[in-house]
Structure 1
Amino acid sequence: MNNQLSIKTIVAIGIGAAVFIILARFVAIPTGIPNTTIQTSYAFLALMAVVFGPIAGGLIGFIGHTLNDALSYGSVWWSWVFVSLFIGLFIGLFWKKLDIESGIFGKKQIISFNIIQAVVQAIGWFLLAPVLDILIYAEPANKVFVQGIVAGLSNIITVGIIGTLLLIAYSKTRSQSNSLRKQ
């Protein structure tokens, strides 16, 4: 691929960011921890990152989270926006390894995907989000680490279940390379 983004990828970024906003705003479940919800938007972000790659994944996370914060709260919480970019980008780095376009998303790919997404999200939510909250906003460490742990665990589980189901469903729409037979 050359250095330019394809029209298909640019459209996917725009639509992906819009769907991310809708899911983050309307399909989130409160956890009881302030400003922390169980998000279905990260399952969709993982799907888009695996299908369209790291640039699309990162931009969908960044644009979607930024606009959602601006529309929902009137200001942007940049530390968590950065984590959304990080998650989309780093899950997307494994798009060729997972090769969803081959039409195969079996046990091996499911395990690989879930290891990747769990590690990426653990780094993002357990480490980056709290540390950035402390550095950027001078938030109390105990508060932001609890928020990060709750957000991270819920997102890992949500992506593990919903994200895996989305990827299985998507893979079934792709033709397997060995599925054609001469008659």
Structure 2
Amino acid sequence: MATWMPNTQASLAQGGLVLAATSLGAVWTPFVAFFGHLLYDSLNYTNVWWTWVVADGVFGLLIGLVVQRLELLTQPLTWQQIVRFNGWQALANGLVWGGLAPLGDYLVYQSAWRYVFLQGGVAALVNTLSVGIVGTLFIYGYHWMKKH
């Protein structure tokens, strides 16, 4: 779904990475993110934006490490864990989409500084919402299925 920022999409894919992190772990989630973004760009754009593809791989690594470090799959789920998870995922989104991806665009593609950082900020916001809603539901669903 398009956002108000050109070439910036809101997607459930970032929230879906939490499913990859819960089922595949921190080692394989970066590959899911990297190749998923590569495939999406290849099918939807004339160019692959390698800086954002690599950034997605980094985000996959970070979200995998957060799920692992907070022991979201092995410990009983509490509101404190959900808040901590969402704080860490928001930080990861901010670092990757608000910093790494736009910096890559600026350095590699010589894109306009202001434009790419505004674009990255919008991406960080919508991805934080996607992971916060969809990712939290995946974690909750995992624990619910484990009980039943």
Q: Is TM (by shorter chain) over 0.5? A: yes
Note if 1:106 corresponds to 2:78: yes
Q: CA-to-partner distance for each residue in 1:41-81, whole Å, 9 max, x for gaps? A: 00001231244222211001001001111111132101111
Letter in 2 for 1:141: W
1:85-104 maps to which residues of 2 (within 5 A)? 85-102=57-74, 104=76
Partner of 1:65: 37
**Identity between Structure 1 and Structure 2 (%):** 36
| Aligned equivalents of 1:87, 1:112: Cα separation in 2 | 17
Report if aligned partners of 1:102, 1:175 keep a CA contact under 8 Å in 2.
Answer: no
Partner of 1:19: none
Letter in 1 for 2:42: A
Secondary structure of 2:10's counterpart equals strand
Note if 1:165 corresponds to 2:137: yes
| Aligned equivalents of 1:76, 1:132: Cα separation in 2 | 13
Secondary structure of 2:5's counterpart equals coil
Partner of 1:35: 7
How many angstroms does 1:102 deviate by? 2.9
Partner of 2:126: 154
Ranges of 4+ aligned residues in structure 1 off by more than 6 Å: none
Higher Rg: 1
User: What stretches of structure 1 of length at least 5 have no aligned partner?
Assistant: 1-28, 177-183
Moved more, 158-167 or 90-99: 90-99
Partner of 1:44: 16
What TM-score does the superposition give when structure 1 sets the normalisation length? 0.75
Letter in 1 for 2:59: I
Secondary structure of 1:93's counterpart equals helix
Report if aligned partners of 1:103, 1:171 keep a CA contact under 8 Å in 2.
Answer: no
Q: Which has the higher contact order (CA 8 A, sep 6+)?
A: 2
Q: CA-to-partner distance for each residue in 1:110-148, whole Å, 9 max, x for gaps? A: 012111111111000111011000111110011101100
What TM-score does the superposition give when structure 2 sets the normalisation length? 0.91
Q: Which of 139, 143, 151 is matched with 2:115 structurally?
A: 143
